[in-house]
Amino acid sequence: MQLIASRPFTYATRRLKAGDYFVARTMADHRVLVATGRAKLANADGTLNENPDAVPDALEKLRAEYYEVVGKRPYHGWDAQMLAAKISEARTAD
């Protein structure tokens, strides 16, 4: 995920200024940088993500479809690709 630096700091041997775009090396780094306020999430088009907790509609639709097919809620850490695979697996098993 692409991030935007909130203030100047050094990350991965780069000196970032406020407003610079960069990619965190790991998800742990990503969570820490956002939680400490050093960086903010960027959208795919490079604009600042105002609501970082928003889940894309496609993922919500897949989660609802998984619930209909399997009968239980999906694991919250699954991405769209994993959900689609689990749905198709459950449909072929029936």
Alpha helices in 1-94 (DSSP H): 27-35, 57-70, 80-93
Say yes or no: 6 and 30 in one domain: yes
70 in a domain, yes or no? yes
Q: Which residue has the higher pLDDT, 13 or 50?
A: 13
Say yes or no: 64 and 89 in one domain: yes
Q: Distance from CA of residue 2 to its chain's centroid?
A: 10
Listed residue (39, 27, 13) closest to 77, CA to CA: 27
> Tens digit of pLDDT for each residue in 5-48?
999 999 999 999 998 989 889 889 998 999 999 998 887 666 66
CB 33 within 8 A of CB 23: no
50 in a domain, yes or no? no
Q: Structural domain of residue 73, as residue ranges? A: 57-93
Report how far residue 18's alpha carbon sits from residue 94's, in angstroms, rounded to the nearest whole number: 53
Among the ranges given (25-29, 52-56, 89-93), the one the predictor scored with the smallest mean pLDDT: 52-56
